[in-house]
Structure 1
Amino acid sequence: MFSRFQMITMGFVFAVFMLECTAAIRCYRCKGSDECDFSKREIFIDNCTWATKCWGARIGDNFIRSCADDRCDIQIGLGGYIESKCCYDDLCNDDAFFFPNTGSNKFAFKFEIFLILAIIGLVLIKRYIIH
């Protein structure tokens, strides 16, 4: 049905995926325009052991950022002036969360790292396990 190489490869990919999924998410936590200004100060990072998402809200230039679960059930966006939304990656509720053209694409970066690790893993498996 499956070759030994395919079984080992699927196991490796599953193990890497589980490592990514089991870690607690980290989110920025702040309230107000002064506290949430990334250019003026270092923003507090919360290890969200109880949450699976990061949340952010803004009304004009005032921001709130935190860990979230239930508050993500309702997300709003009114022309970019009033927003409440959630995301699922570490530290994803930064300024690029509200202003998408200002930051890097974290999903693409994580996918590239995962792809590189998967290729390295496959090469090592083929070289040392399957002769």
Structure 2
Amino acid sequence: MGESVAAAVNKFFKVNKLDKKILMMSGISAGFGAAFGAPIAGTVFGMEMVAMGKLKLEAFVPCLTASFVGHYLTTVAWGHKHEEFIIQIVPKITITTFIIVILLSVLFSLISVLYCQLRHEIEKYLIKFSGKTI
């Protein structure tokens, strides 16, 4: 929803390409911060989704601001309470848990790379198929 609002603003004000990307990133960040109550994660997520692995540092402040505004609007203005997760048991740090964490980290990073590559290939196919940019 945040990205949709940013797209509408882009059409209305006819902004340049760089500002359009920053507005998209800010819209995604605001939506993530509002929906999940995690404005820092929303900032990073918004910057990652549009840039796809190439973080634009000039978008950091607008994304951070939008994410915190979205978060505080939902919690303060509308009174919504986000879910809080409390870690009740912390596993012992052993060689086994360390190895498991390293292996899972590698696996999840490979899945992330696969997702990004798949998204790029689908975008290329859709551009070729439709003749329009996304």
TM-score greater than 0.5 by the shorter chain: no
TM-score, length basis structure 2:
0.28
Larger radius of gyration: 1
What TM-score comes out, normalization by structure 1 length?
0.28
Greater per-residue strand proportion: 1
